[in-house]
Amino acid sequence: MNLQDIDNYYDYTPGSVDFSGYDRGGPNKIPYGYLGLYLILSIVICYLYHKKIVAAADWNAPNSLNAVASFQTSKPYQFRLLMPVIFDFFRPLHALYGKYLFNAWNVVAVLLIQVVYYKLLCGYFKNKKYLLWIAPVILYPILFNYIILNQSFQYYDFTAILFFTVGLYYILNQKTTAFIIFFVIAIINKETAGYLIFAYLLFNYKNLFTKKVIVNTFILGVIFIGYKLLLNYIFRNNPGDSFEVGYYENIRIVQELFSNGILLKNLALNFGGLYIFVILLFVTGLWLKYPDKRKVYMNLAIVPYYLFGIYITYITEVRVYTELIPMITTLFLIFLSSFKFSGLEPRPRGKKKQA
């Protein structure tokens, strides 16, 4: 692969298809050489994840694949149906190569995370050739939150990162129909995909009271609430509560935080420390340098995530921050883009289109 080959992927012609909603040019194709690099990185990440987490996991535990596929396990684990149903469809292979088949899917998922994240970044920054190298930075917080710091297994984690990244891509590119369809799939995998509703509202902050945004938000809300009510009815006789309550445990965690080295380490190294640059982005006012505030605000869905997370998750279990990974990483890159040495030139605000 030489520079001329790469240039052929980015030969813009006036009047070509408006692929991203912000950039008039051809599709954001990824040369095979970079796909090969992404694949190698995916294999490395998933191998490490398999050795530390997957190989030791009990797949008959109440929150694991086999138990959920039985439709008899505890709520709310029973509600996260997508992966168990798909794996149950391939039952003969699953029975023979269960954990290896799962690891193969993870390789595909992590590969696609990098591909989709590259396409997402093309809506933020100009230099697409440079972004081909930048896109794998999303693996950095994944390495910390799911391998270095993590001690527990959940079958839907990498898939949830992929689906949330795809959701952000559809919001950014204002592909509303595709976003709504994909939203349904994402919440079947894990209900925390519902935070995409906040990302959608924040991106459309100037059009909140337009008919399109109101109708689309209503549709998303009905889908989310309707799905939860349907599952509550179908699995009404299953043991457990419809959602976990982590509030009292979080109070205990905060009270003993400075006496518990593991908890303190998990919070300090969450996302590999990228959150520090996100804080700096807003404290220093560097976010004001980015020309299209919609793209910044969209990632502030991290705020309702933390507000609700105090009640429905455990703040020091770093693997629960699945949905935040693409948003934290993007805000980190926006922080870097405020410095000329980064090579990340922000894309100017394009022609505004309603949701």
* pTM assigned to the model: 0.89
For 57-108, what is each residue's pLDDT tens digit? 998 888 888 899 899 998 888 999 999 999 888 877 776 677 889 999 999 9
pLDDT mean across residues, the chain: 88
Check whether 163 has a pLDDT greater than 90. yes
Can you give the pLDDT at residue 351?
52
Residue 133 has pLDDT above 70, yes or no: yes
The tens digit of pLDDT for each residue in 26-64 reads: 467 899 999 999 999 999 999 999 999 999 999 888 888
Provide the sign of the torsion angle of the four alpha carbons 155, 108, 267, 247, taken in this order: negative
pLDDT of residue 18: 35
The separation between CA 21 and the C-alpha centre of its own chain, rounded to angstroms, equals 21
* Contact assessment for residue 316 and residue 268, using Cβ atoms and an 8 Å cutoff: no
Residue 354 has pLDDT above 50, yes or no: no
- pLDDT for 251: 87
Q: Does the pLDDT value for residue 14 go beyond 80? A: no
Query: What is the average per-residue pLDDT within 210-231?
Result: 96
| Per-residue pLDDT at 228 | 92
Per-residue pLDDT for 201 more than 80?
yes
> Residue 84 is inside which H or E element, if any?
helix 82-89
User: Tokens 């799911």 correspond to what residue?
Assistant: 146
Q: What pLDDT is stored for residue 60 in this prediction?
A: 83
